[in-house]
Structures are given as structure tokens and as C-alpha cells.
Amino acid sequence: MSTPVYLDHAATTPMVPAVLDVMTRHLAAAANPSSLHASGRRARRIVEESRETIADALGCRPGEVVLTSGGTEADNLAVKGIYWARRAADPRRVRVLTTAVEHHAVLDPLDWLAEQGDAEVEHLPVDAEGRLDVDALRASIERDPTSVALVSVMWANNEVGTRQPVADVVAVTSPHGIPVHTDAVQALGVLPVDFAASGVDAMTVTGHKVGGPHGAGALVVRREVAVVPLVHGGGQERDIRSGTLDTPAIAGFAAAVELAVAAQAAHATRMAGLRERLVAGVLAAVPDAVLNGPGPETWEAERLPGNVHLSFPGCEGDSLLMLLDTRGIECSTGSACSAGVPQASHVLLAMGRGERAARSSLRFSLGHTSSEADVDALVAAIGPCVERARGVRL
């Protein structure tokens, strides 16, 4: 069986060999990094050295890195934990502001907070390319700044690749002392990400998007920001996230982050070239396909370099995905976390697209294993697959 053409790196990207080597060295060691004996201390040293590596790569202090099981846990810890802490300090702080295009790892815990009767969640509008309306954010805050507990705006969108104006968000919130959380899962390794320079108060990252293992991530959070823990137990990770630390996974996570950040500029340039080739080829094969998100005139500054999101009129995205899959080409209809659920993309709907357009879309995401041959294989297959999905000749 031939190797599949993998174009779903935004869902997860294959582990890089150097990370596998790091993890393999540590997998045979049986030690709890919270133990006081020699083996425990060795494991603790690995964890703390990994924390320092992550901090150096992300532009933060080691003590600001709270290790988690991945991005979903980190997002939940940020939005719930900071909200609860802010609400406890001042009962007037009941509002949480976010965008309508966030990942479900942010939207769903916020919905849960609202359903419990505590939080008032406001989904701020975005423009036709999925970019936050900063004026709407400003107006919402100025309406009653003392009632806002938290603002959460992702660094870059996981479906259409739109980069959000995080610096503008910080500029609007800072005068009011409102903490900002950003999900930077898609940005790390493909865009410059510097926690201290960004001005945000909390930031989510994860390992499996940058060639590291599943099950390892972090919430980077300023020491002065109070966070109520979701999990109680041994008091690990500043008493914010209890639980025995996975030393091999953390070492692999740190190695992946370090490598991804070091190669970021060159990687982004290569991905942008492949993206241009992919878009040109697919639009030549299917002229009425529609590129969603920032286009060529702005995508260098406003879009993730490895993201291509296209709508194919007359097709069901799920059906087209499966037709491509039979040809060995793997892609996505959007977030892998909601894959298999036959519903329109909430991101495209928020961008003003109709339900039919939102259901006719596919995401092709490039990564470190992607090649021109992969792109050319998609271009060769997409026309016949769209023709079959539509049931009529193009």
C-alpha cells in the first residue's frame, strides 16, 4: 500500500525523529518526578530542564509554564480557572468576551460556564475573512469594563488560518486591567510567538502540532494571574494542575518546541510556497472553488502559511473528503475535534457564509513532511473527485 498524501497537519503533525529519540531515551526509566529519591530527582531534573527549554523558546519565564495534557486542557484551565478566580475576587466580573470563531476547546467550556448560570459569554463578530472586529471588542468593554472577567482570542484560526489582531486586543484590554488568554496552538512553529512581547496573560500551546507527542502541552500564564485549578491532588504545577508528570512526553514536547521555533522562519517560507502552488493548482482544476479566509493579496501578513481552506460549490465536504481518501489523500472538513459530526462549520457561518457553502468546504493543511509531490497529487485528484461528488460533469 502506498504512503498516503497527508494534508491534515493542523489536526496533528507526525513526530520528528529527534523527538522520538529523546522520548525513547526516557521511556525505560521508571521514576515519579515528585519522588525524593535519586531516580525521582533525575526525573525532576528532566522536567525542569524541559520547562526551561520551553520557556526559552516561547519568551517566558520557566515558572510561567504550567504543564498540561495538551491544548484542550490548557484552554479549559485558562477560561474556567481565570474566570473563577476573577469572579471570586469581584462578583461583578461575570462577562467573558471571545470571538465567534474560536476552537471548541474554548467555546465549549465557555458554554458550560454560561449553562451553570454564572458567566455571561459574548461572542464578538468577525469580518468576512474571520478577523475579529476590534471596534466591537472595544465597545463591549467600554460599556461596562468592571463586569469583564476575561477576554479569550486565538492567535490564529485552526480552520481558515486567519491571524487575529492579538496586539490590538491587548491594547484595548490593558487600560482596564482585563486579562487576555490566547490559544496559540496553530501559531507555534509557523509564526513568531513571544509570550512576553505579546502582552497576553495566558497562552495555550501543545506538542502534537509541532512534531511532538500527543498528551503534552502547556498553559503559559503570568505568575501574578490567579487561576483556580480544575484538578486537585498532589499540588504539582504551582498547585494549578495536579497530577503525576509524564517525564518522557514532557521531554519530547520540549524538544519539539525548541526545534519548531528554531526552524520557524525557514519552515514558514517553505509552507507559503507550497500553499501558493496548491491554491493555484486546485483553482485551475476547479475554477469555481472559493478560497476562504485571507487571499493572496494579504495572506503573507494575515494567514497561516500552511493553511488552505476551500469551498467546492455543489459538493458535500464529507463526501468529497472520502472520495479523496480513496485516492490516498487525507485532509479535513475543519477541526478534527468535531470530525464525523455532520454540521456546518461554525467558523464559516460566523464569517457570513451560508449553510450550504459552509458544508461544502475542505481544509488542506501543510506541514514538515509536505512536498511538491503531495500538492501535485491533490491537484491531479481534485477535479475528478469534485466531478463525482457533484454527480455532474464540470
32-47 confidence digits (pLDDT tens): 999 999 999 999 999 9
Among 148-157, 196-205, 230-239, 340-349, name the one with the lowest average pLDDT.
340-349
Same domain (yes/no): 98, 174 = yes
Same domain (yes/no): 161, 295 = no
Same domain (yes/no): 231, 311 = no
Same domain (yes/no): 337, 365 = yes
Q: Which three cell numbers stand for residue 262?
A: 528554531
pLDDT per position as a tens digit, 337-388: 555 556 789 999 999 999 998 999 999 999 999 999 999 999 999 999 999 9
pLDDT of residue 77: 98
Q: Which three cell numbers stand for residue 12?
A: 496533528
Distance (Å, rounded) from C-alpha 66 to C-alpha 221? 7
Q: Which segments of the chain are extended strands (E)?
A: 5-6, 65-68, 95-99, 120-124, 148-152, 180-183, 202-206, 217-221, 290-291, 307-311, 329-330, 361-365
On average, the pLDDT of the chain sits at 95
Where in the sequence is the domain holding 162, given as residue range(s)?
17-262
Q: Which three cell numbers stand for residue 94?
A: 461575570
Same domain (yes/no): 205, 296 = no
Of 203, 238, 262, the residue that ends a domain is 262
Same domain (yes/no): 94, 136 = yes
The residues annotated as belonging to the active site are 337
Same domain (yes/no): 216, 337 = no
Same domain (yes/no): 27, 83 = yes
Q: pTM of the predicted model, to two decimals?
A: 0.95
pLDDT per position as a tens digit, 224-277: 999 999 999 999 999 999 999 999 999 999 999 999 999 999 999 999 999 999
